[in-house]
Amino acid sequence: MELEQIDTLVTIQQLEKENRILRKKLERSETACRELEQTNHKKENLLRQIIKDLENSQKEVKEKRELEQTLSELQRTQAQLVHAEKMSSLGQLVAGVAHEINNPVNFIHGNLTYIEEYSQELLKILHLYQHHYPNPVSEIQAQTETSELDFLQEDLLKIVNSMKMGTDRIRKIVQSLRIFSRMDEAEFKLVDIHECLDSTLLILQHRLKRKPELPEIRVLQNYGNLPLVNCYAGQLNQVFMNILVNAIDAIEELNAKRIVQESKENSLQITISTSTIDREWVRIKIADTGVGMPESIQKQIFNPFFTTKPIGKGTGMGMAISDRIITETHGGKLTCRSNPGIGAEFTIDIPVCRQCSNSV
């Protein structure tokens, strides 16, 4: 063989060898590739499962949240129902008690007038006796001294007067309790709010007038153009009365705290403003320049029997009644803003026509 041919043979053998090695490598890499594919497939499946699990748990969380919401709504409704039930039985109880107290108190109150009259008549006769028989027999003289006749005469009328004040107070409380617990009397009517305000102011004239210890309280009336409002006139008057009386009390209280020179006439003022909010609502604002109240008191003023006034003056029912009349009976809103030492402002918003606004 020629040398050239031998070289070619060797090269071919080498090439074949390399070829075999390469094929083996290829086979191995193909297996690796297949294994990789399988692993990838498994991974993909696993990921898909994880996503599915996640989606499921998300759904569960959402459902749980919805359940929790429903539960808390149910609890709130239940609390409201319990509260409503309690209030209604409390209302019935209050109405019953007020009714029972009403008769005997009126009985006592009515008879006190006669007691006063009869006592005065008896005293007149006694004075006549004393005048015409200045020197009675010794037995009468002795009894006059033991009975302390002079003191007795003086005290008798005082006692009758304080009894009258007492029964007057009980009657007022009973009346408030009856209004508070029986809101559904009387009927809805078309009412001129300005007329109501004016008549309430008229009744309160004696408290607004100048007094020795207090200059006149001025009332500013910023009346807007109001439509007739469908409401219970008597109850609305009651609300105006309660708010105005409180305003006067607050002004008097602030004035009592001041040194005389300090009280300037224009600082004793009640401002009543009326306006329409839109075609369906009207607003009445009553502001005073009285003592005002801190946040802590403001929060409580609508609670029945809450009062900061001395014993014998406040019943604590005025604002509770007013709130009920405005919110429950008339479907409106009663709010209060105040700065201690500067004054308070009450805002009443009521629908022009409750039935109409209910149906909207």
**Which amino acid would we find at residue 300?**
Q
Report the candidate in 47, 163, 56, 51 with the shortest Cα–Cα distance to residue 112: 163
**Taking the complex as a whole, how short is the minimal distance between the CB of residue 337 and Mg ion, in angstroms?**
17
Per CB under 5 A, does 176 bind Mg ion? no
User: Which of 292, 318, 343, 351 lies at the binding interface for Mg ion (CB under 5 A)?
Assistant: 318
Per CB under 6 A, does 101 bind ligand ADP? no
What tokens appear for 356 in the block?
A: 């109409």
Q: What are phi and psi of 220, to 5 degrees?
A: -95, 125
**Taking the complex as a whole, how short is the minimal distance between the CB of residue 217 and ligand ADP, in angstroms?**
12
**Taking the complex as a whole, how short is the minimal distance between the CB of residue 166 and ligand ADP, in angstroms?**
17
Q: What are phi and psi of 137, to 5 degrees?
A: -65, 160
* Cβ-Cβ contacts under 8 Å for 320 (sequence gap 6 or more): 180, 302, 303, 304, 305, 306
Per CB under 6 A, which region of 21-29, 186-194, 274-282, 312-320 contacts ligand ADP? 312-320
Q: Which does 252 bind (CB under 5 to 8 A by kind): Mg ion, ligand ADP, none?
A: none
Residue with tokens 């005065």: 120
Per CB under 6 A, does 347 bind ligand ADP? no
Query: Which residue number, 52 or 257, has a Cβ lying nearer to ligand ADP?
Result: 257
User: Which of 167, 200, 237, 246 lies at the binding interface for Mg ion (CB under 5 A)?
Assistant: 246
Report the site for ligand ADP in 223-252 (rule: CB under 6 A): 242, 246-247, 250
Give one DSSP letter per residue of 78-144, joined into a string: HHHHHHHHHHHHHHHHHHHHHHHHHHHHHHHHHHHHHHHHHHHHHHHHHHHHHHH-SS--HHHHHHH
Q: What are phi and psi of 336, to 5 degrees?
A: -140, 140
In eight-state DSSP terms, residue 211 is B
- CB-based closest residue to Mg ion: 318
Query: Which residue number, 223 or 306, has a Cβ lying nearer to ligand ADP?
Result: 306
User: Which of 208, 244, 284, 291 lies at the binding interface for ligand ADP (CB under 6 A)?
Assistant: 291
Site string for ligand ADP, 8-47 (x = CB under 6 A): ----------------------------------------
In eight-state DSSP terms, residue 279 is S
The residues binding Mg ion (CB under 5 A) are 246, 318
